[in-house]
Amino acid sequence: MNDATGPRDSLGALADAAGIVPRFKDQTGKAHETGDATRAALLSAMGFDVSGEANVAEALRAIADRAAQRALPDWLVVEADAPGPEVPGAWSLTFETGETREGRGTLPSLPLGIHRLEVEDHPTWLLSAPPTLPAPPRTWGITLPIYGLRTATQGGVGSYGDLAEAMRGLGRAGAGFVGINPIHAGFPEDARAFSPYAPSSRRRFSTLHIETETDWPGGEELIDYADVSARQRHALRAMFEAAEQTDAFRGWRQREGQELERFALHQALSEVHGPYWTHWPEALRDPLSPEVHAFAEAHRDAVTFHAWLQWTAERQLGQVRQASDAMALGLYLDLAVGTHPEGAETWGDPDLFARGVSLGAPPDAFSKAGQRWNLAPMRPLHLERTGFRALAEILRAQLRFSRVLRIDHILGFERAFWVPEDPKVPGAYVTMPKAALLAVARIEAARVGAVIVGEDLGNIPDNLQRDLAASGILGCRVVMFEQDWDADAATFLPIESYSDRALTSFATHDLPTFLGWRAGRDIEWRRETGAIDEAGEAEAKRERQAEVAALDQIMGGGDVETLNRFLAAAPSPLVALQAEDLLGRIEQPNLPGTVYDHPNWRRRLGVGVAELAEDEGVRRAAETMKTAGR
């Protein structure tokens, strides 16, 4: 007996059955064994009772019995519009459209979508997907922060209207796409929760960026979210009270159904009880409780208000999409890797998310203890048994308006690192149903002809990049990381060696700008925030100087125009230029590992949207890309 959870063999067998990886290597090459304390914590988060040997044994028996009773697994990937697969015995098929059919033996050809098959009263989800997505056009685009699209003189925060204007101008300049940070629904009742990568819900959109007639006070170089949020809430309420509740809105609300109603109800509850549902009265933490139903009845206007806000956000995003009609691709959105554990998504769909654990990352050279991201993981077994509905809805929401979608940390499609709440218990990887998740991504992208980009940086599992390429999903290539790490001195790879199945950029939103990287500004910030000491700063800057010299050598220069020519020559079909680089900015948008000790997500671009496309740096970049045939 190792601990209160029972014999190691039984607990280990249950952990294996649940997909908990028994051992792994971190980025430094150090091997880690998954211990019983970690197994117990992760299994509990999945919903298993591991409080004693008998409960562990019962869970194992239940898994074995369920598998023995089924003729087919919970899900199958099939090729869309191809001859259907052979299944044993009689079957009943419900298409995604609701149409039903019955038969025996071979299934009919299945259209694109997620369909429900029943054999011997057991459901199997059929993920009918194209085997691969088509290659995107060879083009280029600009990534920029939507929040930073208003100057200090203008004040406030960038809006969907500002974004539409920026896209029209950049489209005329020749850009094939414009990429922005995630615009998932946030926490309007907590002005400090402004990180776009810790959203309340990824199925709904931020109301912070809805265009209003607010008279913003100017003068703030950094965005003051406390002031902006308060003024925006007041303006949105005034808009709602002045607006007519049209048939278009009512019809849209009815079509959106229960998921929208739960989200709007959550937002209404947040106005009364605070932004985080785990702090609400116990009876209100269950969306199906009588008390929640009574609240909804008593606050119908508030629920309607929040539904109307989502309708308004989507209408304005529709205008953004229309503004990109002349572009090769259009809007490029970013999908956060996870959702906040105390937000609307986890409240409205509680069975989907693991409790008592967070997504994170194992130890690496920059974080000796690993990382805890405070994001709720999805339970893989629940995903499988519900036909991956949640993922499909999340992707579909983004792809209503974008034709390029970047999935942050797509390594999570193969395995996700779960970190227990107890800091004494180390984390471990949980295997995810990769083939199914990739199929769902192909299905949703194929519906609208979109490009999927997977952020495949970091501790990459074997064969993941191969499987992404087979699915037609692009990877990411970041110039500052494209080095020969086995060389004795800093050595960058030639641009010809870059992948032809990737989006290539110099950096990302989590990395320094080109000028900031050259100056070691990110290193200075790490020193200022206490992440490294004075000696560490000096050593890091010496290493950076060597890297800068090595990159200059392979690029043939060290200015932004030379960098743009270098990027333009990449074999990659898509090249992304950062607006901060084109505008000569030094400071980066976000410094990982910090929350408030660095002004994350608060910096303005410093150029108005009307002038952005006419900026000299943007015009020179556009000409460089055109000359290169992009």
One-letter amino acid for residue 569 of the chain: A
Coil vs helix vs strand at 420: strand
Q: What is the mean pLDDT of the chain?
A: 95
3-state per-residue secondary structure call for 48-102: CCCCCHHHHHHHHHHHHHHHHHCCCCCEEEEECCCCCCEEEEEEEEECCCCCEEE
pLDDT at 365 over 80: no
Burial 445-478 (b: 16+ CB within 10 A, else e): bbeeebbbbbbbbebebeebbebbbebbbbbbbb
3-state per-residue secondary structure call for 145-177: CHHHCCCCCCCCCCCHHHHHHHHHHHHHHCCCE
- Bridge-based pairing state of the strands 177-179 and 330-335: parallel
Q: What domains sit in the chain, N to C, each tagged with a CATH number?
A: 8-69 (no CATH), 75-129 (no CATH), 139-627 (3.20.20.80)
pLDDT of res. 363: 81
Give 554's contacts (C-beta < 8 A, 6+ positions apart): 492, 493, 494, 495, 566
Stated length of the chain: 630
The DSSP 8-state label assigned to residue 134 in this structure reads: P
Is residue 462 very low, low, confident or very high in pLDDT (cuts 50, 70, 90)? Answer: confident
CA distances (Å), origin 519, targets 95, 143, 546, 579: 57, 22, 12, 18
Angle, alpha carbons 60-63-68 (nearest 5°): 125
Q: What integer is the mean pLDDT of 184-200?
A: 97
Q: What integer is the mean pLDDT of 354-365?
A: 89
Token representation of residue 600: 């994350």
Token representation of residue 559: 């200015």
pLDDT at 5 over 60: no
- Whole-angstrom distance, CA of residue 289 vs CA of residue 297: 13
Between helix 300-323 and helix 247-273 the angle, nearest 10°, is: 120
pLDDT of res. 26: 84
Coil vs helix vs strand at 608: coil
- Residues 225-274: pLDDT tens digits? 999 999 999 999 999 999 988 999 999 999 999 999 999 999 999 999 99
pLDDT of res. 366: 62
- Residues 93-128: pLDDT tens digits? 999 999 999 999 999 999 999 999 999 999 999 999
- Residues 413-447: pLDDT tens digits? 999 999 999 999 999 999 999 999 999 999 999 99
% the chain with pLDDT above 70? 98
Is residue 224 very low, low, confident or very high in pLDDT (cuts 50, 70, 90)? Answer: very high
- Bridge-based pairing state of the strands 113-119 and 86-94: antiparallel
Torsions phi, psi for 116 (to 5 deg): -110, 120
- Whole-angstrom distance, CA of residue 433 vs CA of residue 231: 44
pLDDT at 6 over 70: no
Residue 445 CA neighbour count, 13 Å, CB half: 31
Other CB atoms closer than 10 Å to residue 381's CB: what's the count?
A: 17
Is residue 407 very low, low, confident or very high in pLDDT (cuts 50, 70, 90)? Answer: very high
Least confidently predicted of 26-40, 44-58, 470-484? 26-40
pLDDT at 396 over 90: yes
Is residue 3 very low, low, confident or very high in pLDDT (cuts 50, 70, 90)? Answer: very low
pLDDT of res. 295: 98
Give 67's contacts (C-beta < 8 A, 6+ positions apart): none
pLDDT at 196 over 80: yes
- Bridge-based pairing state of the strands 100-106 and 86-94: antiparallel
415-420 β-sheet, strand order: 371-372, 357-361, 415-420, 428-431
- Whole-angstrom distance, CA of residue 344 vs CA of residue 334: 19
pTM value is: 0.95
pLDDT of res. 4: 41
Give 388's contacts (C-beta < 8 A, 6+ positions apart): 75, 114, 125, 127, 436, 437, 440
pLDDT of res. 27: 78
CA distances (Å), origin 390, targets 75, 309, 618: 15, 22, 39
pLDDT at 356 over 90: yes
Which residue is listed with tokens 């079909």? 573
Contact 471, 453 (CB under 8 A): no
Q: What integer is the mean pLDDT of 272-297?
A: 98
Token representation of residue 549: 């010299």
In DSSP terms, which residues pair with 452 in a beta bridge? 405
pLDDT of res. 1: 34
pLDDT at 7 over 70: no
Coil vs helix vs strand at 563: helix
Torsions phi, psi for 488 (to 5 deg): -70, -30
Is residue 2 very low, low, confident or very high in pLDDT (cuts 50, 70, 90)? Answer: very low
Torsions phi, psi for 454 (to 5 deg): -105, 125
Which regions of 482-548 does DSSP assign to beta strands (E)? 502-505
